[in-house]
Amino acid sequence: MTTAKTRLCCLIGDPIEHSLSPIMFTAAFSELKEDAVYLAFKVKKEDLKNAIDGLRAIGFLGCNVTMPHKIEVTKYLDKLEDTAKFVGSVNTIAERGGKLIGYNTDGKGVIASFENEGIEIHDKKVLIVGYGGAARSIAFEIVEKKPSEVIIAGRDASKAKMLVDLIKGRVNAYEILMGDLKKIGADIIINATPLGMRQRIEEIPIPEELLKKDVVVLDLVYDPIETKLLQLAKEKGCKIIDGLEPLVHQGAIAFKIWIGKDAPINIMRKAIREAIL
């Protein structure tokens, strides 16, 4: 039951109808008996500043940001934490003493997914396919785990190189065109592109030759849960992690930022898996 003391959390983006975040966070609030609600608001690009000003005016507990606002929203915040500053995009906002602080939890969600499966990144060769905001956040967090090298793959070599240039001072890194991926191998492969999502369900971002036994493959796409990439990887004997895991883990990190308590991650995972299956 909502009251005058109920706190507001929300998601802003366009579109937002597909989002699982309201299901995930509502389950978490219910489990911990938090007096809070989570709503999704469709916000057009031209209305973003007004939306942030509105949240600032009415007071809120926390906010998630999805496409296409992750980069633009940084202009309207008071401070960015380190990952968000490096990435140049925000997916989580919290209010602190009247100031709006921007965070990016995408990369931390991926790291938590690996740790939950007991997968070591240290001294491993990591391939990240993509160079957008999610890929940048992942790369920032991955290098902290000291892999042997990081490869950034994409269709635009100049954009891939921009990300490589940001991290190569901290790790051995280089870029490669997606068409040249057959020339390399990797211990860990991360798909940070939309290839394989329901609208592009037959597409896979890497050649099958890279899917060797015991390679770890994580796909950020979660609709469908088991993408064609993950299906092929499983057939080849790879260890697979679907896109719901980083979604749940980055959500749990946002929950901790807002509430100050550990999130009931098993409840969150159960809620979204039941909703999508």
Residues marked as catalytic: 70
Q: Which amino acid is at 217?
A: V
Q: Where are the beta strands (DSSP E) in 83-236?
A: 92-96, 99-103, 125-129, 149-154, 173-177, 188-191, 216-219
Neighbours of 219 (CB within 10 A): 30
- Cα angle for residues 183, 188, 192 (degrees, 5° grid): 90
Say how far apart CA 64 and CA 254 lie, in whole Å: 8
Dihedral of CA atoms 27, 53, 108, 40 in degrees, nearest 10, equals: 30
Say how far apart CA 49 and CA 59 lie, in whole Å: 15
Cβ(31)–Cβ(267) under 8 Å? yes
Cβ(198)–Cβ(135) under 8 Å? no
Say how far apart CA 50 and CA 78 lie, in whole Å: 15
Cβ(9)–Cβ(62) under 8 Å? yes
Say how far apart CA 94 and CA 91 lie, in whole Å: 10
